[in-house]
Amino acid sequence: MEKKKVNINHDDVVIHVDNVSKSFGDLHVLRDVNLQLFNGENLVVLGRSGTGKSVLIKLISGLLKPDKGDIHVLGEIVNQLDERELRALRQRIGFSFQNSALYDSMTVRENLEFPLVRNKRNLTRAEIDKEVEEVLEGVGLSQAINQMPSELSGGQRKRIGIARTLILRPDIMLYDEPTAGLDPLTCLDINSLINQVQEQYRTSSIIITHDLSCAKMVGDRMVMLLDGKFERQGTFEEIFNTDDERVKPFYDYNFID
């Protein structure tokens, strides 16, 4: 399925990772990396497991601090913010986790209400209901409003997790392995939803994945993390048009004949 062209503002950088390094003891995960996310763009970060993709998301959200360099997000330098400032910034960033991060003891409605009530305390009951219904309709699961997470399929839980993120109308979406553990047809549904979110909510997104089918379907631009650095970037074809022995096995594993 061909990705629709979207309006990307290349003059507006919403995330800038500037000469960032991060190590854990003797393990050098990121080495002087630079990365930009433009307004309205879906940027895919590719890499094998353990290459630092999830560390990158934690740095962007302020859950980790870089050993060197700065992380600029929506005009703020994340690693220089205090806790109050970080909380305010995180309300503008949506996180879609691998496990959907739903509360098992809450219904779908209650899971969606929770971030609204916590972050927008002045909303009326009618306003909360309207927001919940709108975002559920947006992910195609209006009928699941009173169900428990345990009653949903993996793909449905993923959709509800995205809905709970969207309910605060974030400027930026961060997707961590959005298709992990899903069957191929459900993966296609989630990929379509990521593109729909970009178009409908005008988000700028980073999609962390090692699923090349997902990357090809949702990415406006891609970067590949190799040996702690972004060694390759461009379109899907530009990334994989190479004899680099670090890249070819990655492609062959996903698209082997």
Domains of the chain (ranges plus CATH)? 14-92+171-183+203-257 (3.40.50.300), 101-169 (no CATH)
Q: What is the pLDDT of residues 171-218, one digit of tens each?
A: 999 999 999 888 989 999 999 999 999 999 999 999 999 888 899 999
Q: Which of 102-106, 234-238, 246-250 has the lowest mean pLDDT?
A: 246-250
* CA dist 62 → 55, 85, 105 (Å): 10, 10, 28
Q: Which residue has the tokens 């927001």?
A: 131
Say whether pLDDT at 254 is over 70.
no
Backbone angles phi, psi at 157, to 5 degrees: -60, -40
The reported pTM is 0.91
Backbone angles phi, psi at 128, to 5 degrees: -65, -45
Q: Give percent of the chain with pLDDT exceeding 90.
A: 69
CA-nearest of 5, 47, 88 to 55 is 47
Q: What is the pLDDT of residues 113-138, one digit of tens each?
A: 998 888 877 889 999 999 999 999 99
